Amino acid sequence: MCKNFGGLMALRNVSFKVDEGELLGVIGPNGAGKTTLFNVITGYLKPDGGSIFFCGEKIDGCEPYEIAKKGIARTFQLVKPFKGMNVIENVLVAYYATGRVKGKKTAQAVEKHLREVDLIQKKYKLASELPHGDLKRLEIARALALNPKLLLLDEPFSGLTVEEIRPIL
């Protein structure tokens, strides 16, 4: 796939395959196109060339919400929680977005995701009250709540200390 911004070619003939259960890292300096790659895969930007396939289905041209429903979730470099909502409510948004709200089962699933990222003890705190490391973990919990087949983490550790990273690992 390719993506251009005016005269700048951000992605040139990018091609890769990720198998089920495989972990793949995309590394490079600032400005190398990592976030652009995630934005194109998830439909926030349209590719200027090439095609994107997920589970055998062509997805380039699909809207971000359609791609999320197909099973691709992502986090963002710059976290943007719903600041007026508490931690549980922020994760619940993902369940509402997918139409998978099932009462008590959903509440249990949300708490499971919060335990996975070590935020269960802060479940009633407003997102606006959380430090940066907790916001990064909240972002991951929201992505996990989409029950993705493919999870794209865009710089999940940026700006975090070693102590803040440990609960995520």
Confidence at residue 159, expressed as pLDDT on a 0 to 100 scale: 81
Q: Which residues contact 163 (CB under 8 A, 6 or more apart)?
A: none
pTM exceeding the 0.75 threshold for the entire prediction: yes
Predicted pLDDT at 107: 86
Q: Given this model, what pLDDT does residue 158 score?
A: 84
- For residue 104, the model assigns a pLDDT of 82
Question: Each residue of 77-106: pLDDT tens digit?
Answer: 889 999 999 999 999 998 887 777 677 888
User: b or e along 11-28 (b: 16 or more beta carbons within 10 Å of the residue's beta carbon)?
Assistant: beebeeeeeeeeeeeeee
Residues (pLDDT < 70) of the chain are 101
According to the model, what pLDDT value does residue 120 have? 96
Would you state the pLDDT for residue 58? 96
